[in-house]
């Protein structure tokens, strides 16, 4: 399946296509579960009735968490972004939640302890420890912020709560990877 090369885009007109291998009727049943309905409804409230584009991602997270009556939110952040994490924690706290910010350096492991091929004794990111700590805190939702590529995968695989990304790390494009794509697009437009 390659949706980008599809000329009909029939799915956008609520017609499933022959390329799909999944069974929609089974998925519709899954969507009917109480848990999925809660999430789907809370997500819809953020964008339905002309609201799309009116809330920032952080505002959306706060409103989403309020509508699900969440109480405790984990913040898994990169220690290099701690100043931003402090501010975000404060905003979330002032919105009525208990916030559990956990740094990627939690546990204080050395890089040589985590990576078999490293002899570096400086502190390592510890995505297993970061997710484990947040699991122990039993939060309702986890926000991730600036985790390194790869570390984010280990974190996401091990975190037990729902998690959403507020900020993705991109060291070249000021943590906004789409800037690179837009730059490439612009170059192509100019060449055309
Ligand atoms: S109709 Fe099928 S192939 Fe085309 S965009 Fe939709 S899902 Fe992808």
Centre of ligand 1 to C-alpha 10, Å, is 6
171 domain-assigned:
yes
Position in ligand 1 atom list of the atom nearest CA 18: 2
Domain count, the chain: 1
**Residue 134 is part of a domain; what is its CATH number?**
3.40.50
Q: Is residue 173 part of a domain?
A: yes
Closest ligand 1 atom number to CA of residue 15: 1
Residues with C-beta less than 6 Å from any ligand 1 atom:
1, 3, 6, 8-11, 17, 19
Q: Residue 55 falls within a domain, yes or no?
A: no
- Mean per-residue pLDDT, 63-83: 98
Tell me, in angstroms, the distance from the centre of ligand 1 to residue 21's CA. 12
Q: pLDDT of 57-67, one tens digit each?
A: 999 999 999 99
Q: Is residue 7, in this structure, part of any structural domain at all?
A: no
Residues sharing a CB contact under 8 Å with residue 176, sequence separation 6 or more, in sequence order:
170
Q: How many angstroms is it from 28 CA to the middle of ligand 1?
A: 18
pLDDT per residue as tens digits for the range 12-54: 999 999 899 999 999 999 999 999 999 999 999 999 999 999 9
Which residue range(s) make up the domain with 98?
72-191
Ligand 1 centre from 161 Cα, in Å? 31
Would 137 be classed as within a structural domain?
yes
Residue 17 lies in a domain: no
Specify if 77 maps to a domain.
yes
Strand order in the sheet with 162-167: 98-103, 72-77, 141-145, 162-167
The predicted model scores a pTM of: 0.93
> Is 174 a domain residue?
yes
């Amino acid at each position: 399946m390659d949706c980008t090369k599809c000329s009909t885009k029939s799915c956008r007109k609520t017609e499933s296509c022959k390329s799909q291998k999944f069974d929609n009727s089974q998925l519709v049943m899954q969507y009917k579960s109480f848990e999925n309905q809660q999430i789907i409804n809370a997500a819809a409230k953020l964008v339905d009735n002309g609201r799309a584009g009116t809330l920032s991602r952080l505002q959306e997270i706060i409103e989403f968490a309020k509508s699900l009556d969440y109480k405790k939110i984990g913040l898994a952040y990169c220690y290099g972004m701690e100043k931003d994490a402090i501010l975000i924690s404060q905003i979330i706290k002032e919105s009525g939640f208990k916030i559990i910010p956990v740094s990627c350096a939690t546990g204080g492991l050395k890089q040589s302890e985590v990576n078999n091929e490293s002899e570096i004794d400086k502190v390592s990111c510890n995505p297993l420890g970061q997710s484990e700590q947040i699991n122990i805190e039993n939060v309702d939702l986890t926000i991730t912020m600036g985790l390194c590529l790869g570390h984010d995968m280990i974190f996401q695989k091990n975190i037990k709560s729902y998690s959403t990304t507020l900020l993705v790390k991109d060291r070249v494009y000021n943590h906004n990877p789409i800037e690179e794509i837009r730059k490439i697009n612009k170059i192509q437009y100019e060449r055309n």
